[in-house]
Amino acid sequence: MPVNFAHRGASGYCPENTMAAFTKALELGATGIETDVQMTADGRLVLIHDESVRRTTGFDALVKDLTFEELRKLDAGVWFSEEFAGETIPSLEELLALAKSANIIVNIELKNGLIPYPDLERKVIETVRAYGLSDQVVLSSFNHYSLAVCKQLAPDIDTGILYMEGLYRPWDYAATLGANALHPIKYAVLKEWVLEAAAAGIACNPFTVNAPDEMKRMLEAGVSGIITDYPDRLAALLKTLT
């Protein structure tokens, strides 16, 4: 059964990358959670998509310039709805604890394309290992050099190549990085490519797929997982296929 990855949690219903969104995702049938990891000024791993906290907290600062204590004082929920006032930016540890108890897959995107967080790969891997979740984690990034570092440090942890264009024979490219999966934007998915990738032992987990007809197309193409803001829609569709 394809993995139902909730994109930044159930971000269609809750403020993205919050514990509320992650918990809601499980309630809606997600079997995986996709999130983004960055690093605070004092080296803590936190889950937020943007390099700046402005969009989701209203405070104009970069994640890298705030300590963990400063960042935790920010409200990351009220921008979405008053219902979520007081939600904080979570640590990676909080999500991994949830993943361990719920026995789900976690896709951790390393957000080190614009800001080169020092030693991010090692710190993420050490944290994953501390929770005993090496076999339940996929490390992805648009920074493919970072993925190469991840494989050097932890050959046993799966990696996924994020990309936005129609790469030529991306399964061959994946092999050069030792990557286990392709994470293409949904427009760069064709059934023939998914089949070719599968034949090469490479999974395909497209993003961000929200419309049921698009989900159906991806499933018919044979993808291994789907990254969506609405895990309930995908869960309902998957039930019709069993």
Helices 170-177 and 191-199: angle between axes, nearest 10 degrees: 40
144 in active site: no
Between β-strands 203-204 and 181-184, what pairing exists: parallel, antiparallel or unpaired? parallel
Residue 11: CA count within 13 A, CB half-sphere: 22
Query: Could you write out the DSSP letters of every residue in 170-221?
Result: HHHHHHHHT--EEEEBGGG--HHHHHHHHHTT-EE--B---SHHHHHHHHHH
Residue 207: name the closest of 180, 235, 181, 226 by CA: 226
Which region holds residue 12: left if phi is over 0, alpha if psi is between -120 and 50, else beta?
alpha
Catalytic annotation, pick one of 2, 4, 5, 7: 7
Whole-number Cα distances in Å, 155 to 135, 150, 161: 11, 7, 15
Catalytic annotation, pick one of 29, 49, 52, 78: 49
Task: Tell me which residues are annotated as active site.
Answer: 7, 49
